[in-house]
Structure 1
Amino acid sequence: RLHQIRKKTLKKIMQTRVGASYEFTKEVQRKICNSNETGNCKQTQCVYRGLTMLDLAVWSPSPCVTCLCSEGRVVCDEMICPTMHCPSPATPAGRCCPVCMEPGRNTTYSGLSPELSGDSPVPSHPKDHIVPLTQEDIQRIVWREEEEHREEERLRRKDEARKKRRRERKEREERQRKMFEEKRREEEEALRLQMEKEEEEWRTKTEEADKGQQEEESRMTEERSRKEEMEQQKEVKEEVWLRGDVFQMPSKEELLPPPVPTHPTETDELKETTVVLPAGCDISDVSMTCENVQLIHFPPLNIPELKSLSLEGNNISSIPAGAFNGIPNLEWINLKKNKLTSAGIDPKAFMGLKMLRRLYLDENLLDVVPSDLPSTLQELKINENKLRGIDENSFQDLSSLVILELEGNLLSEGNVNPRAFAPLIQLSYLRLGRNHFRTVPQGLPKSLLELYLENNLIEEISETVFNQTTNLNMVSLRHNKLDETRIAPMAWFNHRNLESIDLSHNDFYLVPSYLPKSLVHLVLVGNKVERIPGYIFAHMDPGLEYLYLSFNRLDGEGIEPESFFGTYHSMMELCLDHNQLIHVPLGINEMTNLHLLRLDSNRIRSISEESICDPDLQEETTLVALRMENNYIDAMDVSPSAFSCLRYGSSVVLKPQKTIQRIHRTRH
């Protein structure tokens, strides 16, 4: 490589000199042509030492002599050196003229060499003298070329590495984007298939219900026709008897007057009702139960004192108007697991129930919320139906409603009106799990205390979604698609009443920041948590009491010394089981109020004397349950004082432990 650089450098030097000679030749030729009276330049040749030179050719037979071919004549000029005024003149090798040297040193007074001073060794004018390069100058130029080459090589490698990183990052981002798109497509396809399946099931059940209803109507039509025919025959007989037809005269027994009717007692009415209803129905005091007795129609009842009615597990598909006229004082109705459809419930079916408090319509075929529900209603359950939307008037006049459950439907932020919950001014408990929400629904009532949104598709929590629910005490967001980057910093940070948050089975890699100051109970089970940032709980007042981080990815570096800062006097239950911890985390021995500690199913190999019990604390610890099984702990290596602070009768589980697989190699 060094040889190539030197060869390249010498080639540049020769090209520079030849270029300068060529310029000098052109200048002389121009002057000669201009001096010619005719203006014509004749091309003649010169012979010098056996070599033929063209006219105006310039060459240097020796370092200090320059020759010119001019119209067949050779003209040579020797370089004239200037007069030197110095004590020690000397002529360097390869030069024609002497230069001044310092006595005893090989340094010129003329300053830096042309290469170091920036002056070019090649004359810029034909009259300037060409100064030949010394060996030292050539070495310096070669060294400079090598340095430049090394720098260029370094910059090239750096640029290639940067381009490679950029290319790899783009490829990685592209792969992640494709994976995300593929996952999203799969989820959408699964959701579409699920909706198609549910639609097909709903259609099948509806068809079965319609078929059963048609069969029942046909049966009742036949029975009605038979009764009408019997009545017609009876009328014919009476008419014949009135005409005096002897052949149709009734016998003496038939002429006897009918018995005087008596008013039935309450017991007789109950007996009559029991006889009419299918076997399996039970009536006692003010409640009636007819569960799983294959009822097809709503039974006609006339028991005004009845308070509770359960018809769960039948095949009832409709509720006609006036179905509750004979039981107007009902307070609780259970119609779970029937085949009720929205079209089969008359809009005025529930209007007469002025005392109704609880209505259960779970596991039916409803696609809208029944209309004109009683204003006295306090609890409404429509779980596991086919609800496709909630409009602004769905809960009109239900100002007394406290509990509302709508789980397992087809609801989403696109078909739930933001004003739907506005009439529910006393609602405290709302369940919307197992739906298709991608965001927390808007317009939640201010009175809400507990909100359940598990098993949805929620990806983010905006900054304003909980602005109105200042009384919220508990939020469950289990089994969604949340991570620490999709929760707005001020989403719930300033909530003063929010004490419990369940974020289990999401996509968290860190314990999320900006948790509520009032938080007491935090659940992050089944995520991908790798780190608990320092001081993440420091702002909480009075402090976090329950922290569940089981089934995550915490290792020896994921828990910092300050991770539990702020919980030393409040933490009561700490679950870190089923992680990748290699030692007992720092700070646990400072938790003075801890009752339960789970460190089982990790990779812990030893327990130091101070990891559980702090020797500086004199009082007895409150810890009553410690689980450390399924680690790599050798019980023989545990110091007797490691659990010295535990109170008498505390439960410490150390067995069983995992075994370390070791390969013993035989030495030859």
Structure 2
Amino acid sequence: MRTGPLLAAVWLLLVFAVTPGQNGRDVRRTKRKRDGHGQARVRSGHAKPLRSRQVPRSPRVPAEPVRGNVVLLESYRDGPERHSSYNVLPGRQGQCVFQGMTMFNQAVWAPTPCVTCLCTGGRVVCDELACPATPCRLPIVPAAGGECCPVCTDSDPDLSLELSGDSPAPRNRDNHDSIASTPQLTHEEIQRILWREEEERLEEDEQLRKREEAKKRKRKERKEQEERQRRIAEEARRREEEEEEERRKTEEEESRRKEEKEAREREEKLREEILREQEEEEVWLRGDVFQMVPKEEEEPEEPDLLPAPIPRPPAAAEDELKEEEDEEEEEEKEVAVNAGGLPPGCDISDVTLTCDNAKLTYFPPLLMPQLKSLSLEGNNISSIPAEAFNGIPNLEWINLKKNKLTSAGIDQRAFQSLKMLKRLYLDGNLLEVAPANLPPSLQELKINENRLQRIQGNTFQGLSSLAILELEANLLSEANMDPKAFASLAQLSYLRLGQNHFRSIPQGLPPLLLELYLENNLIEEIPAGVFNNSKNLNVLSLGHNRLEETRIAPLAWIHHRSLESMDLSYNKLYLVPSYLPTSLVHLVLVGNHIERIPGFVFAHMDPGLEYLYLSYNKLDGEAIEPESFFGSYHSMVELCLDHNQLLSVPSGINEMTNLHFLRLNNNNIRSIPDECICDPECNGDSTLVAVRLENNLIDPLKVSPSAFSCVRSSSSVVLKPQKIK
């Protein structure tokens, strides 16, 4: 019944207690180890700190009797060294007899260095210490100190390596039983070795754990990196899709715009073609000599074309033109053209060299004495040196339009050597003043669309042969133009000053001037006597200004016997001006605010007005009086009253015996009486060629066939379409 408690007590005694003698021996042994052999076995810097811990083991207490009532217990080989903590008071009962000695109950003693005995209940229980295997080659058992197990000497390298942790062959940490069973090692040494191996195992486990964590972290980072790359790839793919979609939309938008632009261009081209055909038809019908031709069409496109002819008797003009053509043909036959050394983009034909839009940035050096015409239009030439024309001294025509020439870039001696120069075109450059020292042979000079800011008195000095001068689209006005600027131009007959900033007619006009163009300025009045020195003036263009009929002086031009064509379109006129020139033949009043044609306003004209354009005004039912066209009944050839507010065909038209072309379209006319256009009493040959009456309020079915009996062809009468009633 007492075997279970007895074994538990023995276990506790072995774990926690030793006898005082044993304690003292352990203390002495520990001290000796620290002072002697212990230092050899555990070297500084290699021994690891030991942590006090218990390694639980299942108790094995074999009840093997030894010599009488002595029970020998097998030592716990894997556990750490335990010191005695017995605290037993000897008693008489339960005494034990061991080897002839009487031991009190609970007495503990060591009969041999490796055996510890306990007297309990009259029985002796002994614990025999099993010595661990010695790792050295020469183990010894110390004679003093009560050592029971062999130890290595200080000169044994195997033990030093083993205890210092520097052994090249690590011990298997699972072989604890073999270490604990080695009889040469003490409990403390076994404990240290086992603790060190446990530390190493824990460290290896920690390293393994860290490696696993590192692997997990790397896997996580790799996964995150793959996720980031996937997101980046998805984002890039999404951006590419968006860019592709945007590009597709842009291409579709550009294609749509291109199609719309092409459609607009086709419509515009078709409209221009229709208008051109209409204009050609109208010009053919009326034989108009006062055509407001656009500037682009006025300028000759080919260098061998002549400039706009100066009005002169037809026979003389034809003879002179024929003589000039014959002379040019003879010269072309006699001259041998040298086509070598041409700049890239240039082409030569006979005596004409063309380098248009050749991307030239400098004036090309040329050695062609036979050359007569040179075109360098549309390049980037900014300067002309003094020797530019030394190799081509016989030039008669130079075209330098649309370059980047500046006044400072043209040398003052550049044109001096050109003794035969007749035409010089400098349109579309950056000139602020006209070039100096131009040759006296010059007959035509064009400096349109530049930056001319002043015309001095000597600007055109010496140009006694100059007949055509164009200075349109500059910065000129009466303030920066000297009144004597045209004094030396004795032969000047054609002058263009449109698209500038003139508020009044320039002073000092040449006496032989035939045509003067001042459209697109700021002119507000026509004072008396302004044209007194220009008695030969034949054509005057004042369209797109600010003229009013009250600001035109009565004696401004009424006595001029040569002024035949006048353009007063797009001004601020409310009436057809009175006191018009007596010799007037062509009168353009398109685009004003004219509400009335006063009676007898054309009566003083001799031989009489032939072309009258009153389109796009505000003429209504009371605008035209019975006497409005008095004086032009036998002279009127073309009458344009379209795009007004007329309610009926004006009176007096049926009396115009020489009328060829009549426009009454785009009004509010409702009916065509039989006698309003054709005079039934007229028995002569009909002159009326075309009548336009479309876009009115006329019912074609109600128009009598005899209403257009004087029209040469019924197909020339336009009645459709009409406005919706």
TM-score bracket relative to the smaller structure: 0.5 to 0.7
Q: Aligned residues: percent identity?
A: 72
Partner of 1:490: 555
Counterpart of 1:544 in structure 2: which amino acid? L
* Aligned mates of 1:574, 1:420 — CA distance in 2: 40
Counterpart of 1:537 in structure 2: which amino acid? F
Partner of 1:335: 400
Residue 559 of structure 1 pairs with residue 624 of structure 2: yes
Which secondary structure does the structure 2 equivalent of 1:283 belong to? strand
Q: 2:564 aligns with which of 476, 499, 522?
A: 499
Whether contact under 8 Å (2:337, 2:351) holds in the other structure is: no
Counterpart of 1:452 in structure 2: which amino acid? Y
Q: 1:325 aligns with which of 382, 390, 394?
A: 390
Cα gap change, 1:602 to 1:649, in 2 (>3 Å): closer
Cα gap change, 1:283 to 1:620, in 2 (>3 Å): closer
Partner of 2:174: none
Partner of 1:523: 588
* Aligned mates of 2:360, 2:609 — CA distance in 1: 53
Partner of 1:430: 495
* Aligned mates of 2:577, 2:614 — CA distance in 1: 12
Cα gap change, 1:326 to 1:615, in 2 (>3 Å): same
What is the TM-score with the length of structure 1 in the denominator? 0.58
Partner of 2:182: none
* Aligned mates of 1:432, 1:267 — CA distance in 2: 41
Partner of 1:285: 350
Residue 472 of structure 1 pairs with residue 472 of structure 2: no
* Aligned mates of 2:404, 2:556 — CA distance in 1: 41
* Aligned mates of 2:499, 2:541 — CA distance in 1: 12
Residue 303 of structure 1 pairs with residue 368 of structure 2: yes
Partner of 1:368: 433
- CA displacement at 1:301 relative to structure 2: 1.1
* Aligned mates of 1:454, 1:652 — CA distance in 2: 35
- CA displacement at 1:620 relative to structure 2: 3.7
* Aligned mates of 1:461, 1:286 — CA distance in 2: 47
Residue 653 of structure 1 pairs with residue 653 of structure 2: no
Partner of 1:294: 359
Partner of 2:451: 386
Cα gap change, 1:499 to 1:268, in 2 (>3 Å): closer
Q: Counterparts in 2 of 1:156-195, with a 5 A limit?
A: none
Partner of 2:646: 581
Whether contact under 8 Å (1:570, 1:591) holds in the other structure is: yes
* Aligned mates of 1:635, 1:534 — CA distance in 2: 32
* Aligned mates of 2:336, 2:576 — CA distance in 1: 66
- CA displacement at 1:269 relative to structure 2: 6.3
Cα gap change, 1:286 to 1:548, in 2 (>3 Å): same
Q: 1:600 aligns with which of 656, 665, 680?
A: 665
Whether contact under 8 Å (1:438, 1:458) holds in the other structure is: yes
- CA displacement at 1:270 relative to structure 2: 3.4
- CA displacement at 1:648 relative to structure 2: 4.0
Cα deviation digits, residues 270-291 of structure 1 (max 9, x gap): 33x13xx12x111222111111
Whether contact under 8 Å (1:314, 1:338) holds in the other structure is: yes
Residue 547 of structure 1 pairs with residue 612 of structure 2: yes
- CA displacement at 1:473 relative to structure 2: 0.4
Whether contact under 8 Å (2:708, 2:714) holds in the other structure is: no
Which secondary structure does the structure 2 equivalent of 1:574 belong to? strand
- CA displacement at 1:326 relative to structure 2: 0.8
Cα gap change, 1:309 to 1:366, in 2 (>3 Å): same
Counterpart of 1:345 in structure 2: which amino acid? I
Partner of 1:397: 462
* Aligned mates of 1:610, 1:285 — CA distance in 2: 63
Cα gap change, 1:267 to 1:455, in 2 (>3 Å): closer
Residue 349 of structure 1 pairs with residue 418 of structure 2: no
Partner of 1:636: 701
RMSD: 1.3
Partner of 2:144: none
Cα gap change, 1:569 to 1:300, in 2 (>3 Å): same
* Aligned mates of 2:616, 2:509 — CA distance in 1: 32
* Aligned mates of 2:451, 2:676 — CA distance in 1: 54
Residue 407 of structure 1 pairs with residue 457 of structure 2: no
Q: 1:270 aligns with which of 326, 339, 357?
A: 339
Whether contact under 8 Å (2:458, 2:485) holds in the other structure is: yes
Counterpart of 1:533 in structure 2: which amino acid? P
Cα gap change, 1:334 to 1:588, in 2 (>3 Å): same
Flag structure 2 segments of 5+ consecutive residues without an equivalent: 1-334
* Aligned mates of 2:471, 2:425 — CA distance in 1: 11
Partner of 1:443: 508
* Aligned mates of 1:650, 1:587 — CA distance in 2: 24
Cα deviation digits, residues 564-622 of structure 1 (max 9, x gap): 00111000000000000000000000000000000000000111111111222222431
Cα deviation digits, residues 232-278 of structure 1 (max 9, x gap): xxxxxxxxxxxxxxxxxxxxxxxxxxxxxxxxxx999633x13xx12
Counterpart of 2:544 in structure 1: which amino acid? H
Which secondary structure does the structure 2 equivalent of 1:385 belong to? coil
Cα gap change, 1:302 to 1:535, in 2 (>3 Å): same
Cα deviation digits, residues 448-495 of structure 1 (max 9, x gap): 000000111110111011010000000001100001011110000000
Cα deviation digits, residues 287-342 of structure 1 (max 9, x gap): 11111111111111111111111111111101111111111110001100100000
Whether contact under 8 Å (2:452, 2:475) holds in the other structure is: yes
What is the TM-score with the length of structure 2 in the denominator? 0.53
Cα deviation digits, residues 321-369 of structure 1 (max 9, x gap): 1111111110001100100000010111100000000000000000001
Whether contact under 8 Å (2:337, 2:350) holds in the other structure is: no
Q: Counterparts in 2 of 1:135-150, with a 5 A limit?
A: none
Whether contact under 8 Å (1:620, 1:647) holds in the other structure is: no
* Aligned mates of 1:573, 1:599 — CA distance in 2: 11
Counterpart of 1:312 in structure 2: which amino acid? E
* Aligned mates of 1:417, 1:366 — CA distance in 2: 18
Whether contact under 8 Å (1:293, 1:314) holds in the other structure is: yes
Partner of 2:688: 623
Cα deviation digits, residues 507-543 of structure 1 (max 9, x gap): 1000000001100000000000000000000011110
Which secondary structure does the structure 2 equivalent of 1:270 belong to? coil
Whether contact under 8 Å (1:620, 1:646) holds in the other structure is: no
Whether contact under 8 Å (1:383, 1:405) holds in the other structure is: yes
Counterpart of 2:339 in structure 1: which amino acid? L
Whether contact under 8 Å (1:568, 1:592) holds in the other structure is: yes
- CA displacement at 1:416 relative to structure 2: 0.4
Whether contact under 8 Å (2:336, 2:370) holds in the other structure is: no
Provide the aligned length of Structure 1 versus Structure 2.
391
* Aligned mates of 1:281, 1:648 — CA distance in 2: 53
Counterpart of 1:605 in structure 2: which amino acid? R
Partner of 2:124: none
Cα deviation digits, residues 528-567 of structure 1 (max 9, x gap): 0000000000011110000000000000101000000011
Q: In terms of mean alpha carbon deviation, does 610-619 or 528-537 score higher? A: 610-619
